[in-house]
C-alpha cells in the first residue's frame, strides 16, 4: 500500500475546493427526466373461479426499462426516468413476504406487466395502469372461500383444541367478500383454536416456492404452518409464522417453503391455522377468507 504525506492530501483538498467553486463548466446542468406514475397494480383471475378471489395486496412495483432494473417503488408512486421516445416497460408486482417490510420481493406467481411506451418526453408525466394475472402453470389444490354450506377445513388433531372454525354470513359486518367468511371465537373457557385442511397435499420440496394466501382480520395473534406426515410414520407440526392482530381486513402472502422443505421426509402436508388465548381473555376472534395454497 502506498502512503502519501499528509501535505499531499491537504494540497488535493485545496484543488478540489477550488474546482468546485470555479466556473460552471465543471458542473453541467442535470438532465431533465420524463416521469411515470403508477397508482396501483390490479389482479385479474379466471372467470371460472379456478384461481379464487382476485383480492391482492401489491405494495411495490419492480420497474424495468428495456430489460434494465431501474428500481423498486412503493405504490402509489411517480418516479423519474432518463429516457425519451419509445421504450419497453416491464413491471413485476411486489409484495411484503410474510407481511414484513424488510422482505419485499416480486411475487413469483403473478405475471409481469409488459408494455411499450411510445411518448416518453422530458418533464412530462405519463400514467400506467398495470393489470396482471396468475401464471398459467400454478397449482391451486387447496382453496377455501367459505361460500358453501360446508368447509374443507377440519378441527386439528392436536390435544386440547376446544373450538372450531364456523361460517358467518352477510349482512354480518365481519364478512370480507361474497356471502360468507370463516370465524373462530375464543374466550375465558375456550382458549385453544387450531384447524387444518381436511385434505393433505403433496407439495414440492428442495426450496421450491410454496405460498399460502389469505385475507384475515383478528384482535389476537395467530399462527400459520403445516402438519407434515412423515414417511416413517407420525406427524410433525411446523409453524411458519406468527401473525399480529389487524383491526381491519388484511391480505397475507405466507412463504411456506422453509416449513415444507425442512420436513424433507414428509409424504404430504396439511395446512394449519391456530390461535392460543393464553390469558383466557373474552372476545378473542379470528376471521379468515379466500385461503389459497399456491405453488
pLDDT in tens, 155-177: 998 899 999 999 999 999 999 99
Q: Tell me, which fold does domain 142-294 have in CATH?
A: Jelly Rolls (2.60.120)
Beta pairing class for 235-243 and 85-96: unpaired
As to burial, measured by CB atoms within 10 angstroms (0-12 exposed, 13-18 middle, 19+ buried), residue 230 is: middle
Mean pLDDT of the chain: 91
pLDDT for 3 equals 41
Tens-place pLDDT, residues 20-65: 444 445 556 788 999 999 999 999 999 999 999 999 999 999 999 9
Map residue 68 onto helix, strand or coil.
Answer: strand
Q: What is the DSSP letter of 262?
A: T
Every domain of the chain and the residues it spans? 34-133, 142-294
Determine if residue 164 is left, alpha or beta; phi over 0 gives left, psi from -120 to 50 gives alpha, anything else beta: beta
Residue 19 pLDDT greater than 70, yes or no: no
pTM, rounded to two decimals: 0.87
CATH, domain range 34-133: 2.60.40
pLDDT band at 197 (very low <50, low <70, confident <90, very high): very high
User: What's CA 229's distance to the chain center, in Å?
Assistant: 27
Q: Please identify which residue in the block is written with the cell numbers 453541467.
A: 28
pLDDT tens for each residue of 79-107: 999 999 999 999 999 999 999 999 999 99
What is the radius of gyration, based on Cα positions, of the chain?
26
What pLDDT digit, counting tens, does each position of 221-247 carry? 999 999 999 999 999 999 999 999 999
Amino acid at each position: 500500500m502506498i502512503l502519501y504525506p499528509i501535505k499531499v492530501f491537504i494540497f488535493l483538498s485545496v484543488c478540489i475546493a477550488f474546482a468546485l467553486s470555479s466556473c460552471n463548466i465543471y458542473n453541467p446542468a442535470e438532465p431533465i427526466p420524463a416521469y411515470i406514475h403508477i397508482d396501483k397494480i390490479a389482479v385479474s383471475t379466471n372467470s371460472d373461479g379456478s384461481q379464487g378471489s382476485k383480492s391482492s395486496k401489491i405494495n411495490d412495483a419492480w420497474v424495468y426499462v428495456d430489460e434494465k432494473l431501474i428500481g423498486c417503488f412503493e405504490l402509489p408512486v411517480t418516479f423519474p426516468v432518463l429516457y425519451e421516445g419509445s421504450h419497453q416497460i416491464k413491471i413485476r408486482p411486489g409484495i411484503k413476504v410474510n407481511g414484513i417490510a424488510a422482505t419485499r420481493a416480486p411475487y413469483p406467481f403473478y405475471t409481469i406487466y409488459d408494455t411499450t411506451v411510445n411518448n416518453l418526453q422530458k418533464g412530462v408525466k405519463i400514467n400506467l395502469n398495470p393489470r396482471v394475472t396468475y401464471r398459467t402453470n400454478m397449482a391451486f389444490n387447496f382453496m377455501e372461500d367459505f361460500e358453501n354450506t360446508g368447509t374443507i377445513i377440519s378441527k386439528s388433531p392436536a390435544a386440547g383444541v376446544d373450538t372450531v372454525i364456523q361460517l358467518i354470513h352477510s349482512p354480518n359486518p365481519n364478512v370480507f367478500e361474497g356471502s360468507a367468511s370463516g370465524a373462530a371465537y375464543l374466550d375465558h373457557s375456550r382458549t385453544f383454536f387450531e384447524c387444518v385442511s381436511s385434505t393433505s397435499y403433496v407439495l414440492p420440496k428442495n426450496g421450491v416456492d410454496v405460498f399460502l394466501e389469505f385475507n384475515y382480520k383478528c384482535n389476537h395473534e395467530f399462527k400459520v404452518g403445516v402438519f407434515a406426515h412423515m414417511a416413517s410414520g407420525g406427524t410433525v407440526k411446523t409453524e411458519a409464522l406468527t401473525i399480529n392482530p389487524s383491526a381491519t381486513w388484511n391480505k397475507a402472502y405466507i412463504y411456506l417453503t422453509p416449513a415444507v422443505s425442512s420436513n424433507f421426509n414428509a409424504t404430504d402436508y396439511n395446512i394449519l391455522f391456530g390461535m392460543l388465548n393464553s390469558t383466557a381473555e373474552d372476545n378473542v376472534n379470528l376471521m379468515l377468507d379466500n385461503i389459497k395454497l399456491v405453488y
